[in-house]
Chains A and B, each alone.
Chain A
Amino acid sequence: MAARRISSLLTRSLSVSSSSVSTSLFSSLGKNSGRNGIGKRFSTAAALEDLIVPPVQIAYTQNLIDGKFVDAASGKTFPTYDPRTGDVIANVAEGDAEDIDRAVAAARKAFDEGPWPKMTPYERSRIMLRFADLVEKHSEELAALETWNNGKPHEQSAKSELPMFIRLFHYYAGWADKIHGLTVPADGPHHVQTLHEPIGVAGQIIPWNFPLIMFAWKVGPALACGNTIVLKTAEQTPLTALYVAKLFHEAGLPPGVLNVVSGYGPTAGAALASHMDVDKVAFTGSTDTGKIVLELAAKSNLKPVTLELGGKSPFIICEDADVDKAVELAHFALFFNQGQCCCAGSRTFVHERVYDEFIEKAKARALRRVVGDPFRKGVEQGPQIDTEQFEKVLRYIRAGIESNATLECGGDRLGTKGYFVQPTVFSNVMDDMLIAKDEIFGPVQSILKFKDIDEVIRRANNTRYGLAAGVFTKSVETANTLTRALRAGTVWVNCFDVFDAAIPFGGYKMSGIGREKGIYSLHNYLQVKAVVTPLKNPAWL
């Protein structure tokens, strides 16, 4: 029941946030921002000058290999930063090819000799459940660390993401002892069965936008299926993965089963993707990097690859939509997590009949958005992750202005330090503008006008991406037509960013290959083996 309550809180907070029943985090933020946002363009920017000191110490900065924290083979470290200021938080061991080699050797041994895949699934599930309990116990430190290193609102880390992380491990712990093969109908006197075996050593490369959630999406199914892991974190956010990996060992995970290497893509990441002793790679990140990862896998040992890549997801508001709810949801779909979501609803298609009203309200909502120190209560938006992303977002804003989209609000940085960007809304966006084609990965909403369903289907699908889509309508027919026609891995109808553990997530087209979460994610970490034997005088076939 506790789990159910936490989960439904999550779900609500991520979907029907504007409804009056909801007491969720998100709508209360909305109300706060209404109060704070009067008079000023972007509410609580004041807080940017007077930052809260994070209530957490950094204990783990080394690589975790074979159950031990160790320095990098080279002895090198790299700095990790506080996005609020650009100041260094800690120096972290910098993994490279040699560290990856050591980690893979440990994972290889833990797989080939055990104990992990030789333990019963029930034993594996117990360790995962104990781990979830430990994370729950340490939720406060972890949420603080996540916000400090990533810049996302602390309330989001603590009330939404940590409970979601725990829920995901409960989910996958439950799968461990429910992985069934099939017995298979034969064309002759044979007994045929399939075994679903762990695939071996999994290399996993995770991004910086949801460091802990991405850890759970990757590590959960791989461990439930009996694999061992070498995980490379994003260089921007190495801290929380090390912390939870430590807790995992406290929960009873044998050494070598989960190895965590901090480091950069072209060095540690490339070494992992091209390693000859890694049996599987899972990558979440940009489409450009995903292509390189797949190439490295193809050129080395043909390890199968799961890719979760970029998106330019349409959010479609039909003429029968409740405009107020649609505005709120479209705002959430784009601005959530500083716009740093691969599934961000970054092309807001609005029907011409409600377009003008929508623009006005979307602008008002963006102006009300509370931007500030993510540790401060009521703040909806923190800084972007780093200077590179910050500059990129500002470049796209300039491109939007130059291409003659109408800047309704925002358009610049906020404050003078850190990587804060004003919530920005463009209207009159055309499909051929860069801001309508590229993944901006920032708080920049692009609003496009449409006239009829066929047109919006064609335009929504006219992208190399196909990760997700939002549809806002009261009509069952419109909903059914759009959900089939949109070439996207997830369609949220009258909601957005609902991320239950059982809902598969992944992309069509250049948004990726394969699905994570849900029953589908298990295939990524299993090999299918057919076993055939003859039958003598079978009673039936």
Chain B
Amino acid sequence: MAARRISSLLSCSLSYSSLLPKGRFCGVGRVVSGYSTSAGIENPINPSIKVHCTQLLINGNFVDSASGKTFPTYDPRTGDVIAHVAEGDAEDIDRAVCAARKAFDEGPWPKMTAYERSKVLFRFSDLLDKHIEELATLETWDNGKPYEQSAKIELPMISRIIRYYAGWADKIHGLTIPADGPHLVQTIHEPIGVAGQIIPWNFPLLMFAWKVGPALACGCTIVLKSAEQTPLSALYAAKLLHEAGLPPGVLNVVSGFGPTAGAALASHMDVDKLAFTGSSETGKIVLELASKSNLKPVILELGGKSPFIVCKDADVDKAVELAHFALFFNQGQCCSAGSRTYVHEDVHDEFIEKAKARALKRSVGDPFKAGVEQGPQIDSEQFEKILRYIRSGIESGATLITGGDRLGSKGFYIQPTVFTNVKEDMLIAQDEIFGPVQSILKFRDMDEVIRRANSTRYGLAAGVFTNDLDTANTLSRALKVGTVWINCYDVFDAAIPFGGYKMSGQGREKGVHCLSNYLQVKAIVAPLKNPAWI
């Protein structure tokens, strides 16, 4: 019941965020100035924890990198260094793969019963719940996302996902198969082996759970490379997983950079599977490295430019709130961000006025402060990129109705920005901005919006806002995307598959569909003598 309550809270919080206290907070917080509580930006709150785990975790031990090198990880509120972290490179990946290989080939992990594996995962999720404060603090410190979001949404979601996969471990069934002759045919679904997993910085722990959960449930061993921007929480969580009873070598965590550690993992000859979440450009490189090395199967979760379609029958107030949430959630740093807001011409003018008002109400500030909805962007590179896109929007003739600049003088804060009169050929309507920049486009009829919504190389997700059943059914079939949220957005239950059409990726994570990523299918055939039936 507790789980059910937490989960339903999650689902609500991710769809009708306006109903939650957070929404009220920001209403209260908003006074005269353009963007409410920017005050907190100049005097950041001191996080109440120490950083313990900064080394690589290989074969159950925290170790320095082979080169002895480290790299700094930063606080996005200030750009100050939080900690120096061991910098993994090819040699560290080799060692980690070697440990994972041994733990797979010799065991004990794949030779333990599925029930034993599930118990380790259940114990891990209990430990996650126990350490929720440290983990949420670490996550916000290293990433800049609101602490309330880390603590009340993401951490419960992470332990929920681990429990989901713990439950799958002893429910992986093969098939017995109808034969065309006197044969016994069966399939067994085997763990694929050593999985290489490369995760991004926007949801460090959540992506850890999406990747590690199914791989471990299926009996695989892992070498995980975290993003260089956010190495801290994965190391902490991996330590907890060992405390929960994970044998050494089953999960190895290497911090480091893509072109060095990431490339070494993707092209490693002893890695049997690769899972990558990140940009489409990097995804292509990862797939190329896999194809040039040992043809390991690759699952990719890449970029998006997801349409959010507000139909003429929509409740405009709800649509505004949801479209705002769809884009601005997590500082706009979501691959599934609803970054093309299509609004029907009948409600367009009302919509943009309210969307502007909502953006102005958005509470931006120190993510450790209660009631803050938006923290800083992750780093100076992303920060500069977003500002470039904002300038490009202005230059291409879109109408800037609010925002458009940085906020404060330090860290990587950006004003919630809204463009109207956006056209498909503008860069801000084509590229993934990955920041708090909402682009609003006007449309007239259904066929037109289907064509325009699909006219992109991406196909990750879509939002549809309508109360009309025909419209909902038509759009949900016609949109070439992996997830369609109707009158909601960013509902990320553990059982809902997530992944992209077109250049948004290959394969699905979460849900039953996710398991096949970490399983090999083996067919076994043997003759039958005098079978009672075939």
Binding site for B on A (CB under 8 A): 4, 7-8, 10-12, 15-16, 167, 182, 184-190, 192, 194-195, 197, 279, 287, 290-291, 294-295, 297-299, 301-302, 304, 307, 309, 464, 479, 483-484, 487-495, 498, 500-506, 508-510, 512-515, 518-520, 523, 527-534, 541
Contact B516 A491, beta carbon cutoff 8 Å: no
Q: What B residues does A291 contact at CB under 8 A?
A: 291-292, 295
Instruction: Tell me which of B28-36, B204-212, B505-513 binds A.
Output: B505-513
Contact B485 A185, beta carbon cutoff 8 Å: no
Q: Taking A188-B493, A495-B183 as given, write out 5 further A-B residue pairs in contact, using a Cβ cutoff of 8 Å, ordered by the A residue number.
A: A187-B493, A188-B11, A498-B185, A523-B516, A529-B476
Bound complex: CA A309 to CA B295 (Å): 10
A492 to chain B minimum Cβ distance, whole angstroms, is: 5
B293 to chain A minimum Cβ distance, whole angstroms, is: 9
Contact B497 A532, beta carbon cutoff 8 Å: no
Q: What A residues does B522 contact at CB under 8 A?
A: 483, 488-491, 508
The 3 closest A-B pairs by CB, nearest first: A188-B11, A11-B181, A187-B7
Closest B residue to A491 by beta carbon equals B524
Residue A186 contacts which of B302, B482, B495 (CB distance < 8 angstroms)?
A: B495
CB contact under 8 A between A493 and B524, given known A295-B292, A528-B482, A531-B484: yes
A120 to chain B minimum Cβ distance, whole angstroms, is: 14
Q: Does chain A have a CB within 8 A of B81?
A: no
Q: What A residues does B12 contact at CB under 8 A?
A: 188-189
Instruction: Tell me which of B280-288, B345-353, B421-429 binds A.
Output: B280-288
Contact B488 A192, beta carbon cutoff 8 Å: no
Residue A532 contacts which of B300, B488, B494, B506 (CB distance < 8 angstroms)?
A: B488
Q: Does chain A have a CB within 8 A of B49?
A: no
Contact A189 B284, beta carbon cutoff 8 Å: no
Closest B residue to A512 by beta carbon equals B295
Contact A519 B472, beta carbon cutoff 8 Å: no
23 contacts between A and B (CB under 8 A): A7-B181, A10-B180, A10-B181, A11-B179, A11-B183, A15-B527, A184-B493, A184-B496, A195-B476, A291-B295, A297-B287, A298-B288, A483-B524, A490-B522, A491-B523, A512-B295, A513-B297, A515-B521, A527-B501, A528-B482, A530-B483, A531-B483, A532-B488
Contact B181 A301, beta carbon cutoff 8 Å: no
Bound complex: CA A294 to CA B7 (Å): 40
Contact A190 B491, beta carbon cutoff 8 Å: yes
Contact B295 A190, beta carbon cutoff 8 Å: no
B60 to chain A minimum Cβ distance, whole angstroms, is: 26
Bound complex: CA A532 to CA B484 (Å): 6
Q: What B residues does A294 contact at CB under 8 A?
A: 287, 290-291, 295
Bound complex: CA A501 to CA B457 (Å): 36
Q: What A residues does B52 contact at CB under 8 A?
A: none
Contact A302 B488, beta carbon cutoff 8 Å: no
Within B356-382, the residues touching A (CB, 8 Å) are none
Closest B residue to A482 by beta carbon equals B524
A507 to chain B minimum Cβ distance, whole angstroms, is: 9
CB contact under 8 A between A513 and B11, given known A188-B491, A495-B183: no
Count B-side interface residues using an 8 Å CB cutoff.
75
Bound complex: CA A185 to CA B494 (Å): 9
Work out how many contacts link A and B, with CB atoms closer than 8 A. 223
Contact A500 B503, beta carbon cutoff 8 Å: no
Q: Does chain A have a CB within 8 A of B68?
A: no
Q: Is the interface of A mostly helix, strand, loop or mixed?
A: mixed
Contact A301 B502, beta carbon cutoff 8 Å: yes
Q: What B residues does A502 contact at CB under 8 A?
A: 177-180, 185
B183 to chain A minimum Cβ distance, whole angstroms, is: 6
Residue among B181, B488, B523 with max Cβ neighbours from chain A (10 Å): B523
Bound complex: CA A483 to CA B520 (Å): 13
Q: What A residues does B280 contact at CB under 8 A?
A: 302
Contact B487 A533, beta carbon cutoff 8 Å: yes
Residue A531 contacts which of B183, B288, B486, B512 (CB distance < 8 angstroms)?
A: B486
A141 to chain B minimum Cβ distance, whole angstroms, is: 25
Q: What A residues does B297 contact at CB under 8 A?
A: 513-514
CB contact under 8 A between A504 and B493, given known A8-B182, A298-B287, A531-B486: no
Q: Is the interface of B mostly helix, strand, loop or mixed?
A: mixed
Q: Does chain A have a CB within 8 A of B8?
A: yes
Q: What B residues does A464 contact at CB under 8 A?
A: 294
B334 to chain A minimum Cβ distance, whole angstroms, is: 16
Q: What A residues does B300 contact at CB under 8 A?
A: 302
Bound complex: CA A10 to CA B179 (Å): 11
Closest A residue to B290 by beta carbon equals A294
Q: Does chain A have a CB within 8 A of B308?
A: no
Residue B175 contacts which of A7, A510, A519 (CB distance < 8 angstroms)?
A: A519
Q: What B residues does A484 contact at CB under 8 A?
A: 188, 190
Bound complex: CA A192 to CA B512 (Å): 13
Contact A16 B503, beta carbon cutoff 8 Å: no
Q: Does chain A have a CB within 8 A of B1?
A: no
Bound complex: CA A185 to CA B497 (Å): 11
Bound complex: CA A512 to CA B296 (Å): 9
Q: What B residues does A301 contact at CB under 8 A?
A: 457, 502-503
Q: What B residues does A514 contact at CB under 8 A?
A: 297
Closest A residue to B505 by beta carbon equals A302
Q: What A residues does B501 contact at CB under 8 A?
A: 527, 529
Closest B residue to A497 by beta carbon equals B525
Contact B288 A299, beta carbon cutoff 8 Å: yes
Bound complex: CA A494 to CA B295 (Å): 30
Q: Does chain A have a CB within 8 A of B399?
A: no
Closest A residue to B297 by beta carbon equals A513
Closest A residue to B7 by beta carbon equals A187
Contact B496 A530, beta carbon cutoff 8 Å: yes
Q: What A residues does B272 contact at CB under 8 A?
A: 509
CB contact under 8 A between A12 and B521, given known A495-B527, A527-B482: no
Closest A residue to B498 by beta carbon equals A530
Contact B523 A16, beta carbon cutoff 8 Å: no
Q: Does chain A have a CB within 8 A of B86?
A: no
Q: Does chain A have a CB within 8 A of B532?
A: no
Q: What B residues does A12 contact at CB under 8 A?
A: 181-182
Bound complex: CA A504 to CA B187 (Å): 8
CB contact under 8 A between A534 and B180, given known A291-B291, A299-B288, A483-B522: no
Complex interface bits, B65-82 against A, C-beta within 8 A gives 1, otherwise 0: 000000000000000000
CB contact under 8 A between A287 and B291, given known A192-B496, A302-B503: no
Bound complex: CA A490 to CA B190 (Å): 12
Contact A188 B487, beta carbon cutoff 8 Å: no
Q: What A residues does B182 contact at CB under 8 A?
A: 8, 11-12
Bound complex: CA A532 to CA B525 (Å): 40
CB contact under 8 A between A16 and B527, given known A195-B477, A490-B522: yes
Q: Does chain A have a CB within 8 A of B112?
A: no
Bound complex: CA A167 to CA B527 (Å): 20
CB contact under 8 A between A506 and B287, given known A190-B11, A494-B527, A529-B482: no
CB contact under 8 A between A503 and B472, given known A189-B11, A532-B488: no
Residue B523 contacts which of A297, A494, A505, A531 (CB distance < 8 angstroms)?
A: A505
Closest A residue to B472 by beta carbon equals A533
Closest B residue to A188 by beta carbon equals B11
Q: Does chain A have a CB within 8 A of B499?
A: yes
Bound complex: CA A232 to CA B288 (Å): 23
Q: Does chain A have a CB within 8 A of B526?
A: yes
Contact A299 B284, beta carbon cutoff 8 Å: yes
Contact A530 B482, beta carbon cutoff 8 Å: yes
Q: Does chain A have a CB within 8 A of B481?
A: yes
A188 to chain B minimum Cβ distance, whole angstroms, is: 3
